[in-house]
Amino acid sequence: MDQFTINLLFVGASFALYIGIAIWARAGSTSEFYAAGRGVHPVTNGMATAADWMSAASFISMAGLIAFTGYDNSTYLMGWTGGYVLLALLLAPYLRKFGKYTVSEFIGDRFYSQTARIVAVVCLIVASVTYVIGQMTGVGVAFGRFLEVDNTTGLLIGAAVVFAYAVFGGMKGVTYTQVAQYVVLIMAYTIPAIFISLQLTGNPIPALGLFGDHAASGEPLLAKLDAIVKELGFNEYTAHHGDTFNMLLFTLSLMIGTAGLPHVIMRFFTVPKVSDARWSAGWALVFIALLYLTAPAVGAMARLNISEMMWPNGGIEGGAVTLEQIENDERYDWMDTWQKTGLLGWEDKNGDGAIQYYNDGNAELQAMAAEKGWAGNELTNFNRDILVLANPEIANLPGWVIGLVAAGGLAAALSTAAGLLLAISSAVSHDLIKGAINPQISEKGELLSARIAMAVAIVVATYLGLNPPGFAAQTVALAFGLAAASIFPALMMGIFSTKVNNSGAVAGMLAGLVVTLVYIFLHKGWFFIPDTNSFSDADPLLGTIKSTSFGAVGAAVNFAVAYVVSGMTKPTPVHIQELVESVRVPRGAGAAQDH
């Protein structure tokens, strides 16, 4: 059986499973559509939350960014997992106790303002749409390779599948679909990692193999990798070379952005009790850890494999891979198949029949290149988002493993896309239409408007996914920054401060959102028209702060503006102050105090 047929079987079977679950768990009421009837078990919710959380950025893109940068990109791991600790301790139980369906509804009621609710909807939509672009990017990458279709066709197929199980199933259907998607994606991520760890280190546990010895050389694996990448003119893999201040800001931005993401927070509205919200967060961390503890090993081992394949005869002095090897050696078949997607490319610039891969910006190697007649790095394109999906092929693993990875990559992208689209549709139908435009709308009408809003959101997200502003993880990092700057401070102040009033909350959210958006557009060099083909940043406008790190600064602006404006306007009404205090009463964690 050829690889294309195997891929079809795995992807087709997983899609049939998701749609079947959606039909079985079809939402028949607004309660089921928005919060799954508040009847989801904490373990089930934890697994669904993990799938909702581990998007294309985690599955497809993160290990690729770690592989080509090393230690400095461990910020993705620290920020995203640390954010869940904040969410579990500071937000989830209190928001569940408040008893609402959406984040915007909480903000509107807590700050006793329809304007605050609408501004929260705008912030939510901006962050969620930016996030879902990254998911659609991952869908296009996965379909482009494994189903051998172009990026546009892949996006359309993915959008149709999401439409089928998210629009009709709502939160109830999405929850149980995400449980299945978690099982698929975690198997697809860990099984190839186990195979590769055994090949390179003899250890079946990738996280331990990363710190073990390289089987072929007997050297520590990371020391071997450091030596190879340094020989090729790149920074040592395990060393820190970036700006520490920007690294800290980026980690903080990811952490508080995590705690402010509406599609994740919504998951904690689905459990029966406040205490279940805490347990859900704990279980989610366990399920997330299975992938996040494996990701550093996946990145490092893939980088080692790629470097050794490009210099198969023992480094720069041994000779680069030849065009003849790429064409005739089955170990290099993966390069030919990925080249067809446009995400991998090479060019024999000096006509010597070999493909030299090295850092042509390194001063020491420039002299060597001139002496040897090299004309620069001839691996002209290696999209970071292909690494995890190509990893089984690079390691020459069995065809069924490659098919499983295809299904896993799509499960990761589609599960998060569904959660994001549900958050967008809930904000539009429940907070905007029912909350502000037509409060008398019937439940049937509200359910219909939610499904229409989701359908529109899918169309918009698919269109924007055709021209993403960066690699999947980079695009997602921008979304985290927007959530950090706009939503997280409002939630924190809404729960822990009685001094912040409606005027302060509205001013703070708008200030945080606007200043962050402006900085992103200016730093990216987009101005009014984004250059969607450029993934790199322009020179930082404020010190060394990059656009992906600015969310933490935007959050500080939000807090500052909110407190200043609140101090200049009417104080928070007494009944709202009492409401805020009641939400934090410890005994409220029991069933008797639940809403």
All residues at 6 or more sequence positions from 218 whose CB lies less than 8 Å from its CB, including other chains: none
| Amino acid in the structure at residue 307 | S
Evaluate the CA torsion angle 117, 119, 121, 123 in order and state its sign: negative
Pairing of strands 381-382, 354-355: unpaired
Question: Which region holds residue 293: left if phi is over 0, alpha if psi is between -120 and 50, else beta?
Answer: alpha
Please give the pLDDT value at position 143: 72
**What's the chain's Rg over C-alpha atoms?**
24
Torsion of CA 492, 134, 394, 334, to 10 degrees: 180
Contact call for residues 268 and 95 (beta carbons, < 8 A): yes
pLDDT of residue 388: 85
Provide the token pair at 492.
Answer: 């924190």
Report the C-alpha gap between 106 and 123 in whole angstroms. 14
Tokens coding 194: 């186990």
pLDDT by residue (tens digit) across 173-222?
Answer: 677 778 888 888 999 999 999 999 999 999 999 999 999 999 989 999 99
Among 237, 203, 225, which Cα is nearest to 308's? 225
What integer pLDDT is reported at residue 534 of this predicted model? 45
What confidence score (pLDDT) does residue 529 get? 46
Reference 90, options 583, 595, 553, 564; nearest CA is: 583
Judged by phi (left if over 0) then psi (alpha if -120 to 50, else beta), residue 403 lies in alpha
**Pair 36, 172: CB distance under 8 Å:** yes
As a whole number of angstroms, the distance between CA 378 and CA 360 comes to: 9
The reported pTM is: 0.82
**Which residues pair with residue 354 across a beta bridge?**
322
Ranges of residues in the chain with a pLDDT under 50 are 527-536, 587-595
Contact 269, 100 (CB under 8 A): yes
Give, rounded to a whole angstrom, the gap between the first and last alpha carbons of the chain. Answer: 55
Do 562 and 507 form a contact (C-beta atoms < 8 A)? yes
pLDDT digits (tens, 9 = 90+) for 272-321: 777 787 788 888 888 988 999 999 999 999 999 999 999 988 778 788 99
What homologous superfamily is domain 3-301+395-593 in, according to CATH? Answer: Sodium/glucose cotransporter (1.20.1730.10)
Angle (CA) 93 97 98, round 5°: 120
Q: Where are the domains of the chain?
A: 3-301+395-593, 313-390
